[in-house]
Amino acid sequence: MPAGLIEAVGDYRARVLVLGAAATAPPGRFAAGPVAERLLHSSPVPLALAPRGWAGQTPPTRLTCAWAGPARSGEALVSARATAGRWGVPVRLVTFVPEPVTVPPAAPWPDPGPAPETVLAEGPGWEGAMAAVAWESGDVLVLGSSRLGPAGRVSLGSAAAEILRVAPVPVLVVPRGADGTPSHS
């Protein structure tokens, strides 16, 4: 099935592949079934993942990009900003901190244009960090692919997998690009 979906993406030049949660997912959360699990490590296009029971009646109103610094999340931010521009919605950066740490002060925003809202989400474990974020109807969380995965493919890393497991909103997972640019946006 994953191979057929990837083939259809190519045949129809799809820009995104939308998947629902497995029937075993808790209500309001995403859990990958066998097809989604394979695509989370091989899709050539972004994956839009809907939590179990999500009705999709509210259009996206904000993109929240999971941020772990430019080296780990730069491609996700580029993709989030491009998508936000097309959708006409703002971008917010959230750093999830599932355990106590000392966080250095934020550096000035280096890019042109207004700096996005930033949130430091601290809490006990991934669920606690996720619960520290004020989510709104219409939020979509953007996750980047592991920098260790193949260029041009989605490759979910361990931290992104934990974030996906506890995310209460739809998630867009973007492929790793070549030369630091997203392969699709």
Residue with tokens 């259009």: 59
Please report which confidence band the pLDDT of residue 175 belongs to, taking 50, 70 and 90 as the band edges.
Answer: very high
φ, ψ of residue 40 to 5 degrees: the values are: -65, -5
Residue 29 has pLDDT above 90, yes or no: yes
CA atoms within 13 A on the CB side of 137: 6
Q: How far apart are CA 162 and CA 67, in angstroms?
A: 14
Q: How far apart are CA 23 and CA 13, in angstroms?
A: 29
CA distances from 91 to 13, 74, 84, 138 (A): 26, 13, 7, 12
Predicted confidence at residue 17, as pLDDT, reads: 95
39-92 pLDDT, tens per residue? 999 999 999 999 999 988 889 999 999 998 888 898 999 999 999 999 999 999
Q: Are 66 and 160 in contact (CB under 8 A)?
A: yes
Token output for 185: 């946006």
Residue 23 has pLDDT above 90, yes or no: yes
- Tell me the one-letter amino acid at 117: E
67-80 pLDDT, tens per residue? 988 888 989 999 99
pTM score > 0.85 for this model? Answer: yes
Q: Which residue has the higher pLDDT, 21 or 110?
A: 21
Token output for 117: 């809202």
Predicted confidence at residue 8, as pLDDT, reads: 95
Please report which confidence band the pLDDT of residue 116 belongs to, taking 50, 70 and 90 as the band edges.
Answer: confident
Predicted confidence at residue 180, as pLDDT, reads: 42
Residue 106 has pLDDT above 80, yes or no: no
CA distances from 172 to 36, 63, 92, 97, 114 (A): 13, 9, 14, 20, 23
User: Residue 143: beta bridge partners?
Assistant: 173
